[in-house]
Amino acid sequence: MMPVFGHCPSFALKNKVRSGFRFLACYKKHNLFLLIICSSLSVISQDSSLTVETFYPQGKTTSQQPFDATVHKKRIWLVTGVNVVGYGASLVILNNTWYKNYPHTSFHTFNDSKEWLQVDKLGHGWTAYNTGRISAGMWRWAGLSQNKAAIIGGVSGALYLTVIEFLDGHSAKWGWSWSDMAANVIGSGMFISQELLWKEQRIQYKFSFHHKEYGEPMLDERANDLFGESWTERMLKDYNAQTYWLSANLKSFFSKSRLPAWLNLSVGYGADGMFGGFQNKWIDVDSAVVVDRTDVPRVRQFYLAPDIDFTKIRTNKKWLRTVFFCLNAFKCPAPTLMIDSKGKVKAYPLYF
């Protein structure tokens, strides 16, 4: 699901483990769409009247600062065009990059719910949530009411991911995943429900990544084959180094307190020790020998850390407010406490 986010044919040929490759591909595919949406937002933001304050007015709800009821037809057409072109172009790219090289089959499912200790599923939810958030922001800028923008933006993101899942269901290489669909719906639902209930995103869905060294030649080689060698590839593919966060704005829940408006408290989830989708066994591509590294424990990790809601930082710079709006998809580095499923506790002076 993401970037730059191109497909590596050599990797596909080398990796014989279907499940492992499927989710690396899935993660990049979905984020390709998010990249297009973010690029569209940056283009639209060149309009001098666009600001993130238009989306979320410095922490105040639209009931306090009503949006102009006049729908700007030019903006409606522009945002419609951006969505149509973005959706269409990304689907064409996905088809040419991912699907055309594999045979098509009748519709079928694939149960991946236990793969990668569900870290990939959190990636689906994060993409659906932030796709809806950015899309809704554009529709607000175009003049729609907050409720309409939230529903259209959130639902359109979920529908787009559903189309991708449908394509997976007709590809011999992959399959329709009900757990992927559940994650997509939960991510979109998290965005829409908060907009309708609170008129703001009190709990934000964020992502963080750190480049990970595995400290053993065999594991480093496996990681390079499985996750890539460049920093960008590792960010997109290495589930051992990704963390997904729910970041709650404290001032939103305790409005009468003297807490800073930008202060958040976040809980995160990640995992470590994963060198295959379901287990740490793989086939060495050079010797065709089965490598068994089940001695490496696969562990779940839970985190607690402070965070920043960038959209609550006041600034008169319109471009900076747009930057803050986009930055809210990512967790700010901060002191962090971690506990894993084996009972290990560790404190980080700065974790990302």
pLDDT tens readout for residues 302-320: 999 999 999 999 999 989 9
Task: Tell me if 304 sits within 8 A of 337, measured CB to CB.
Answer: yes
Q: Note the pLDDT of residue 72.
A: 80
- Give the mean pLDDT of 284-298: 91
Q: Note the pLDDT of residue 274.
A: 97
Q: What is the pLDDT of residues 111-166, one digit of tens each?
A: 999 999 999 999 999 999 999 999 999 999 898 999 999 999 999 888 888 888 88
Q: Which band of pLDDT confidence, cut at 50, 70 and 90, is reported for residue 59?
A: very low
- Give the mean pLDDT of 33-37: 49
Higher pLDDT: 230 or 265? It is 265
Q: Note the pLDDT of residue 42.
A: 41
Q: Note the pLDDT of residue 285.
A: 80
Residue 327, class by beta-carbon neighbours within 10 Å (0-12 exposed, 13-18 middle, 19+ buried)?
Answer: middle
Q: Which of 39-43, 190-194, 254-258 has the weakest average pLDDT?
A: 39-43
- Give the mean pLDDT of 69-74: 68
Residue 14: which H helix or E strand, with range? helix 9-14
Q: Which residues of 290-325 are buried (b: 16+ CB within 10 A; e: fewer)?
A: eeebeeeebbbbebebebbbbbbbeeeebeebbbbb
Tokens of 237: 């593919």
Average per-residue pLDDT for the chain: 82
- On the question of pLDDT at 82 being above 70, the answer is yes
Q: Which of 18-32, 178-192, 219-233, 241-255 has the weakest average pLDDT?
A: 18-32
Q: Has this prediction a pTM greater than 0.85?
A: no
- DSSP per residue, 186-252: HHHHHHHHHHHHHSS-SEEEEEEE-----SSHHHHHHHHHHH-SSHHHHHHH-GGGEEEEEEEEHHH
Q: Note the pLDDT of residue 85.
A: 87
- Give the mean pLDDT of 94-100: 72
Higher pLDDT: 68 or 157? It is 157
Q: Note the pLDDT of residue 95.
A: 75
Q: Note the pLDDT of residue 178.
A: 95
Q: What is the pLDDT of residues 212-256, one digit of tens each?
A: 989 899 999 999 999 988 888 898 889 999 999 999 999 999 999
| Greatest distance between any 2 Cα atoms in the chain | 67
Q: Which band of pLDDT confidence, cut at 50, 70 and 90, is reported for residue 39?
A: very low
Q: Note the pLDDT of residue 113.
A: 93
C-alpha–C-alpha distance, residues 236 and 4, integer Å? 9
Query: Helices 146-169 and 18-44 sit at what angle, rounded to 10 degrees?
Result: 150
- Give the mean pLDDT of 91-117: 84
Query: Helices 73-94 and 18-44 sit at what angle, rounded to 10 degrees?
Result: 160
Q: What is the pLDDT of residues 271-290, one digit of tens each?
A: 999 999 999 999 988 888 99
